[in-house]
Structure 1
Amino acid sequence: MKKSLLALAALAAVSGSAFAQSSVTIYGRVDQGFAQEADAVKNRQIRAGSANRLGFRGVEDLGGGLKAFFQFEHRFDAGEGTANAVFWDGKSFVGVRTTFGDFYLGREDNPAYAISQAAGDPFGTDTVAANTTILNGRIGTNRYANSVNYRGTFSGVTLGAQIAEADGSKPQSAGEDRPWSVAAAWTGGPFTVGVGHENPANADAQWTTVNAAWDFKVVKLIGLYGFGDTGTQAGLTTSGGNDERTAYILGLTAPIGNGELKASYGVLENEAAVGGTKTKLDKQIGIGYHYALSKRTTVYADFINEKRDGIDASGREKNGFDLGLKHNF
């Protein structure tokens, strides 16, 4: 009897040790606000300022410096209570963590977007004032399915690489021939600089961004410059040839009270391959204030003035705004 009790105690100790080396976290966000989008018909509505999500992530210590990890993230419309067409639309991957970085497979943000482009937007690509269509040149794509990924951070340097399958069944990679991207960023004290490059569509299309930021404590200055070619893929080129595009964003964030002021000015230009005609595809200025009610809950208000190609002829609104509430858990 005594031996049996000792054996059970030993087994419990071993099992407890194993479970202690594994962890699973449930997280998410619910974001809703009253808004009018710019570059849209007059339609004031309830909408999300950032993507609503429910996610699961976990890690297990395999020993010898190795860890297994996973993450999958559902996206949904909180106003309608409906799921996105791709159920795990945010992320869905599994991989191994080593001393040399993370190696993983599945659906994930491309590193050019995650490490360079999003960092160049003071609004973090959220709210009506986001600079999304400028920072990616209308060439890049933020996320790919069926991808092989690498991420690693070493002494302030972050590296990322991704290559994805050309799977026409996935909206993010329809018609693409093995899209790939690479990125790197360095942070030293108050200064951050990064670069990202992606080939999102075909052998001709490509987009490169350089971003930088300097945090003066009272204000953080942010800048991004992008350049690339559209290739000849339908929907990107404006002249039937390989158009050239450039973009820049200048912005800032500043802590005020228990919140943060955000502001940006961005421009996206296109030079047609045929005829060399230059046009502004997008020009916008945005300002907002995001107030933290707690560590997890934020109330925000933003305004944007935007002029895009064809906006006058289509009768769309040039000004947009939102007033919303965001809760993270």
Structure 2
Amino acid sequence: MKTIVSTAVATLLAGFAAAAGAQDVQLYGRVDQGYRYDSGRPGGAKHHIVAGSFNAFGLKGVEDLGGGLSAFFHIEHRFDASTGVANTPFWDEISVVGLRGGFGEIKLGRQGGPFGAAPDPDAFGGDTVGGRGERKAGADDKYNNGIVYGTPDFNGFSAAVGASLSEGAPGLKTGLSGVLKYAAGPLTAAVSFARRANRDQAWALGGTYDFGVAKALLAVAHNDGDHSDVERSTFDLGAIVPMGPGSLRAKFNHDKIDTAGDDVKTKNLGVGYWYDMSKRTVLYTDLGVEKTDGSKRVNRFDAGIRHNF
């Protein structure tokens, strides 16, 4: 029986490789699970088995078309590993096809808009209880019906512009955004702007600087709320300090939402240690504290394992 199964798997893989031809196709993903405690979880359940970050699998591939031109695709699905429940839509994270060459690259399909590239730095990657807190002013829209162009690198500088076509959806306009980046040596920095589909306008900036003994991370963003009547400002400051085979991580996050003149502020503090068992497997443990105006303080703790493949 084992021989039959092994032969079937080998035949399937061989057929896939033959179909791919000269195309380079990569299967990748992540599974993350751990224990988490929340002192103030709605419904009263304080103990959970959850992911400290997302769980996903995806496919991406590139085909050399000659003359410096290549075609590529990228699709990724996310799911809840603790229950096996799939996200909807299935390819909710990204599903694009495009061309890449000396002119840069152009991508068509569902994808993140260029705006989100600027306020992205986070000491926890936006994951675990340590990485809680909005850092993109709520304006990091996914682009359905998206088209994004990215320039080549010019001595560390690059840029991207994109649009999410409304296709006549009621109450929505075509979303537009752009980002300018710089990355050289220990410094990375970016600034971006967006006119959202709801006609709000937003700006963001972010960056990291690696001092060797530690890396500092900063992300600032603002959404004017002129049309949605929800003005939002976010600030996130963090640090990553290499320590032994892993790293000590910490951050402070501030989020202010103004709805019809009523300000609500939320503060998040996070600290944790991530232990690198290998290039693919990480053990993590984190503490997080969250305080929102008018609400009780929420204390959180997690410990888990993440494996990338």
- TM-score for the superposition, normalised by structure 1: 0.81
Change (3 A) 1:88 1:311: same
Which of 269, 281, 303 in structure 1 is aligned with 2:287? Answer: 303
| Separation of aligned partners in 2, 1:199 and 1:321 | 37
| Separation of aligned partners in 1, 2:176 and 2:157 | 20
Which of 215, 228, 234 in structure 2 is aligned with 1:247? Answer: 234
Structure 1 residue 152 displacement after superposition: 3.3
- Is contact 2:133–2:268 with CA below 8 Å preserved after alignment? no
The one-letter code of the counterpart of 2:185 is: G
| Larger CA Rg, structure 1 vs 2 | 1
Give a deviation string over 1:204-252, Cα, whole Å, max 9, x none: x12211112211111011122222311332xx62xxxxx4x33221110
Q: What is the total number of aligned residue pairs between the two structures?
A: 290
SS of 1:311 mapped into structure 2: coil
| Separation of aligned partners in 1, 2:88 and 2:140 | 17
Whether 1:215 and 2:218 are equivalent positions in the alignment is no
Give the corresponding residue for 1:64.
67
Matches within 5 A, 1:91-170: 91-113=94-116, 115-119=117-121, 121-133=122-134, 135-138=135-138, 140-154=139-153, 155-166=155-166
SS of 2:115 mapped into structure 1: helix
SS of 2:79 mapped into structure 1: strand
Show structure 1 runs of 5+ residues with no match.
1-15, 238-242
| Separation of aligned partners in 2, 1:97 and 1:259 | 36
Give identity over the alignment, percent. Answer: 36
Give the corresponding residue for 2:29.
28
Whether 1:263 and 2:250 are equivalent positions in the alignment is yes
Structure 1 residue 200 displacement after superposition: 2.6
Change (3 A) 1:186 1:79: same
Give the corresponding residue for 1:6.
none
The one-letter code of the counterpart of 1:257 is: G
| Separation of aligned partners in 2, 1:132 and 1:200 | 21
Q: Root-mean-square deviation (CA), in Å?
A: 2.5
Is the deviation greater in 189-198 or in 67-76? 189-198
Whether 1:200 and 2:196 are equivalent positions in the alignment is yes
Change (3 A) 1:168 1:258: farther
| Separation of aligned partners in 1, 2:266 and 2:279 | 35
| Separation of aligned partners in 1, 2:168 and 2:77 | 21
| Separation of aligned partners in 2, 1:62 and 1:37 | 52
The one-letter code of the counterpart of 2:32 is: D
Structure 1 residue 37 displacement after superposition: 4.8
Structure 1 residue 40 displacement after superposition: 3.2
- Is contact 2:189–2:206 with CA below 8 Å preserved after alignment? yes
SS of 1:117 mapped into structure 2: coil
- TM-score for the superposition, normalised by structure 2: 0.86
- Is contact 2:133–2:255 with CA below 8 Å preserved after alignment? no
